[in-house]
Structure 1
Amino acid sequence: MSQPVAGRPSYAAVLRLPHARRTFAAALLGRLSYGIVGLSVMLAVTRSTGSYAVAGTVLALFGATSVFLSPFRAALVDRHGPRTALLPMALLHAGLLGALAAATWRPGAAAPVLGALAAAAGAAAPPLGPSMRAVWRELTDEPALIQRAFSLDSVAEEMLFVSGPLLVGALVQILPPAAGIAASALLVAVGTCAFVLSPAVRNMRPAAAGRAAGDSPARGRGGPGLIAPLVAAGVGLALGAMDLLVLAFAAERHHGDAVVAWVLAALSAGSAAGGLLNGAVTWRVSARVRLPLLAVGLGLALAAAGLAPGLVTLTAAVACAGFFVAPALTTAYLLADEMAPPERRTQAGAWVNTAVNAGISGGTAAAGLLVGRLPLGVCFALAGGVTLLTALACAVQRPRKAVSTTGGPVPEPLTAPRDAGEPAVR
C-alpha cells in the first residue's frame, strides 16, 4: 500500500504510486488489442468470405464468448492470482487470434472454421480491465486516490476504443485487414506479459492464499449485488441506441456519414471531460447515492437529444449525454469494488463490464427495431426513458448488508469518510 498523500490528491499522485505507471502502461497496451480487434475481424472476414452476414456472425460469436464468459475468467484471476491466470489466457487468446489472422489472410476461408476460431479466441480473452482495477486497490487504500485512479482508468480505456478503429483504418491502407487481427494478438500477448511481470502484480497473492494467511475480509451475500451492473446495463443501452439513432438522424437530414463520426467524437469528448472532472471532485456523498443520479442525467440528456432541430444542437446534446457516461461507469466500478469482498473484486468489475456490453448490444438491437417504425424523437425518448428506469430501480433497491467472517453484520457505508473524497467501488 502507498503512503498517505498530503493535501488533495491529484491524477499525478495516482501515477506516482509505486509501480503504477509501468503497470498501467502495460495494461493499456494489452487493452488496446480490444480496441482494434472488432473492426479488424469484421474487415478481414468480409474480405476473406465476401459475405457481410458471415462477418457479422463471426464477430457476434467472438463478442458473445468474450463478454459473457468474462466474469468466469475473472473468477479464475481472483482464485489463482493474476500472474498465474492471466498469462495462460493471454497466450491462448493470442494464439487463436493468430490462427484467425492466418485463416483470413487469403480469400476462401471456411465460415465454420472462422466461427469456431473466433468463439474460442473470445472465450480466452484475459480480463485486463477488471484486473487493473483490482491492482489499483492493491496500490493504495486511500479512497480519494482510488476514485481518481478508477476515473483515469475509465477515461484512458475509452480513448483506446476511440483510437483503435483509427489505427485499423491506417493499417489497412498498407496491409490486409487480417494484419489488424495479428496486431491484436501481439498487443495482448506483450501487454499481458509486461503487466504480470510488474512488481505490483507479481506481489499480489491469490484470494485463497490471503484467506489461508488469516485475512478476514467481509463477505457480501451474493457479491456486489445488482445495483452497479443494473445501472451499467442502462448506460450501455443508452450508448448502443445513441450510435444507431445518430446515424438515423444523419440519414434523415441528408448529412454524410462523416458527420456521424464527428457527433460520436463529441460524445467521447464529453465523456472524457466528465470522467476527469468526476475523478477530481471531492465527493461528500457515496457512490451508492451518486450512481442513480448520474444515470438520470444521462437519460435526460439522451431524451433531450431527440428534440434537437439540427446537427449543431444534436452534437451539443450528445456531448452533454457523454458528460455522464464515464462518471457513471467509473462510479459503477467503484460501487462494485466497494461492495464486493476482496477475494471477488476482479469478478465484480467483470460483471459491470459484461452488463455494459450486453446493454450496448441490446440498445443497438432495440433501436434498430424501432427506427423507421416510430418518429426519431420518440426513439431518443424511449432510450433515455429506459436509462431512467434503471436509475429508479437502483434508487429504490435497498442495500444488502455484508457478513463478516466472524458472523457479525458489516453495514454498507453511505457517506464518505471525513478525510477522503470517496467512500469506502469496463
Structure 2
Amino acid sequence: MASTVTSDTSRPGYGQLLRTRGAWTFLLPGFAARQPFAMLTISLVLLVQHTTGSYGAAGAVAAVTGVSMALFAPYSGRLADRHGQRAVLIPGILVHGVAGLSLTTLALMDAPLWALFAAAVPTGASVPQIGPMVRARWGVRLQGSPLMTTAAAFESVTDELTFVLGPLVATALCTTVHPAAGLVTEASLTLVGGLLFAAQKSTQPVVATAPHARVEHAPALSVPGVRVLIATFLGIGAVFGGMQVSLAAFSESIGEPGMNGVLYGVFAAGNMLSGIVCGAIAWKVAPQRRLIVGYTALALVASALWTADSVLVLATLGLLVGMCIAPTLITGYTLVDSLVPAGARTEAFTWLTGAVALGQAAAVTVAGQLEDRLWDGAGFLVPMAGTALALATLVALRGRLAPRRVTRMVTRHAARREPVAIGEM
C-alpha cells in the first residue's frame, strides 16, 4: 500500500505522521495494551522479593518470564505475518491473563520456586507483542514514505512513555496497595487493551496469499543484518534488566523503596525525550553510522552507573543512559524496514523485542545474584558488560547492516511466471 499521508512528507514531522489515515484507530488501544509489558518485570520482582525475601529468587522468576517471551515472541510474530494479527492476539491474551493470575496466586501462597518457574513460562510466552504489531501497521500505512523514520521514533517514544508510567504505577501499587496489585493490574490491562487492539481489523497488515508468499515469508532470522541487530538489542535489554533490579535494591538500601519508580521514571524520561528529538530531525547521516555512534555513547555512560553513590548522581546517570538508548532503538527499528521483506516484518520486529526481553531476563538474573552476594550497586556492572559486548559485536559486523537489494518478478515464459531474485540480501 502506498503512503496514505496526504500532506507533503519531504520533511518528517509528528503532525504529518498522526494525520495518517486510520492511525488513531490502532494507536489508542495499542497504547493501553502496551502498558502491561512495562509493568510485568518490576511487578514480578517486587512481589516475589516480598514473599521470598530474596532478590536472587525474584530475578530468577522474572528471568524465566523474559526468556519465555524472547523464545516465543518471534514465533508469535511469524504466525501473525502468516495468519493475521487478530488470530494470534486473542488466544494469547486469554492465556496470558490466566497464567499471570495463576503466578500471582502461587507467589502469595508461598509456593516453591519450581512452581513459580512453571507458572512463569506461560506468563512470558503469552505476552502480546503489541509494539511489533503496531510497527508493522505503520509499515503498511507508510510504505515508501520518508515518515518511516518518524514513525520509528514515535513508537520508541510511545514505548518509553509506557516505561515511564508502567514502573511508576506498578511500584506504587505494590508498595502502597498490595504486593500483588501490580501483577493483577498488568493482567487486567492486557485483557482489556489487547482485545480492543485486536478488534481493529481494518488496519492490520493483509495476509499474503499470492504464490510468491513463500518468498515473502522467508524467516527474518535468515537475514544477517537482523542477527546483528538482535545482538545489539540484547545489550539494550541488559541495561533495562540491570537497572530494574539495581534501582530497586538501591532504593531499599537507603530506606526509600518508593524511590525506585522515580529513578526508573527519570531513566525512561530521558529515553522518551531523546526519542522525540530524534524523530523530529531530518537525518543526513546513514542509519548504520548513527547506530554505531549512539551505541558507543550508551556503552560509555552505562559504564559509569556502578560508581553512583547518591540519588542525585544515579538520577543524572540514569537520565543520560536513557537519552542514549532511544536513538539506538529508533535506528535499529528503522533499519529493519530496509533489511527484510514486508511479509516478514512483524517477525523481525518481534525478534528485536524478544532480544530486549532476553537481555533483560539475563540481566535481571545476574544483577539479582550480584546484589545478593556482593555490595549494593554491584548489579550496575551488568549494563556495563552487556553494552560493551554488544558494541564490540556491532562494530565487527557492521557491514551486514547494508540494505537488502530488491527482488522482483521476471517473466521466463509466456505461459507462466517464476520468481527470480535480482541481487541478494
- TM-score tier (shorter): 0.7 to 0.9
TM-score by length of 1: 0.79
CA contact under 8 A between 2:287 and 2:335: conserved in structure 1? Answer: yes
The answer to whether the 8 Å contact 2:338/2:403 transfers is no
Instruction: Specify the code of the residue in structure 2 equivalent to 1:407.
Output: V
Q: Which amino acid aligns with 1:97?
A: G
- d(CA) in 2 for partners of 1:233, 1:336: 16
1:15 to 15, 18, 36: 18
- Take 2:348 and 2:314, find their aligned partners in 1: how far apart are those partners? 35
Distance of aligned partners of 1:193 and 1:311 in 2 relative to their CA distance in 1, 3 Å threshold: closer
C-alpha distance in structure 1 between counterparts of 2:47 and 2:34, whole Å: 20
Q: Structure 2 vs 1, CA of residues 3 and 185 (structure 1 numbering), >3 Å: closer, same or farther?
A: same
CA deviation after TM superposition for structure 1 residue 278, in Å:
0.9
Partners in 1 of 2:387 and 2:113 — Cα distance?
38
Structure 1: how far apart are the matches of 2:7 and 2:214?
Answer: 26
Match of 1:131 among 126, 130, 133: 133
What residue is the counterpart of 1:237 in the other structure?
238
Partner residue, 1:393:
396
- Which residue matches 2:291? 291
**What RMSD, in angstroms, separates the aligned Cα atoms of the two structures?**
3.9
What stretches of structure 1 of length at least 5 have no aligned partner? Answer: 413-426
1:379-416 Cα distance to aligned partner (Å, 9 max, x none): 5865664353133124354747457253233477xxxx
Show the counterpart of 1:166.
168
| Aligned pairs for 1:40-59 within 5 A | 40-45=43-48, 55-59=58-62
Q: Structure 1 CA distance, aligned partners of 2:349 and 2:59?
A: 28
| 1:277-330 per-position Cα deviation (integer Å, ceiling 9, x unaligned) | 111111123323321121112123334667779765654444233212011011
Native 8 Å contact 2:95 2:126 kept in 1: yes
Alignment of 1:212-291 (within 5 A): 212=211, 222-223=222-223, 224-241=225-242, 263-291=263-291
Give the letter for the 1:119 counterpart: V
Q: Which amino acid aligns with 1:287?
A: P
Matches within 5 A, 1:182-193: 182-193=184-195
Residue 231 of structure 2 aligns to which amino acid in structure 1?
L
* TM-score normalised to structure 2 length: 0.80
Q: Distance in 2 between matches of 1:258 and 1:178?
A: 16
* Offset, 1:26: 0.9
2: CA distance, partners of 1:181 / 1:381: 29
In the aligned structure 1, how far is the partner of 2:201 from the partner of 2:70? 29
CA contact 1:218–1:404 (8 Å) conserved in 2? no
| Alpha-carbon distance, 1:345 to partner | 0.6
Helix, strand or coil for the counterpart of 1:69? Answer: helix
User: Which SS does the other structure have where 2:222 is aligned?
Assistant: coil
Residue among 121, 124, 129 paired with 2:123: 121
Q: Look up the equivalent residue of 1:22 and give its one-letter code.
A: T
Amino acid at match of 1:13: Q
Task: Show structure 2 runs of 5+ residues with no match.
Answer: 409-418
Counterparts in 2 of 1:225 and 1:127: CA distance versus 1, 3 Å:
same
**Aligned-partner residue type, residue 229 of structure 2:** A
Change in CA separation of 1:321 and 1:96 when aligned onto 2, cut-off 3 Å? closer
| Whole-angstrom CA distance in 2 between matches of 1:395 and 1:411 | 17
> Match for 1:38 among 38, 41, 56?
41
Q: Percent identity, aligned pairs only?
A: 26
The aligned amino acid for 1:98 is L
Partners of 1:285 and 1:130 lie apart in 2 by 25
Alignment check: 8 A CA contact 2:217 2:344 kept:
no
Question: Which residue pairs with 2:343 in the alignment?
Answer: 343
In 2, Cα distance between equivalents of 1:309 and 1:94 = 40
Which whole-Å CA distance do the structure 1 matches of 2:126 and 2:56 have between them? 24
- Give 1:333's aligned amino acid: Y
Match of 1:84 among 82, 87, 98: 87
CA contact (8 A) 2:164 2:264 kept: no
Change (3 A) 1:387 1:307: farther
Q: Give the C-alpha shift of residue 245 in structure 1.
A: 6.8
Question: How many Å separate the matches in 2 of 1:64 and 1:216?
Answer: 29
1:325 matched to which residue of 2? 325
Indicate if the aligned counterparts of 2:41 and 2:62 stay in contact, CA closer than 8 A: yes
Task: Supply the distance in 2 between the matched residues of 1:180 and 1:311 (Cα, whole angstroms).
Answer: 24
**Which residue number in structure 1 is paired with residue 203 of structure 2?**
201
Aligned length: 407
> Per the alignment, do residues 114 and 215 of structure 1 end up closer, same or farther by CA in structure 2, a change over 3 Å counting?
closer
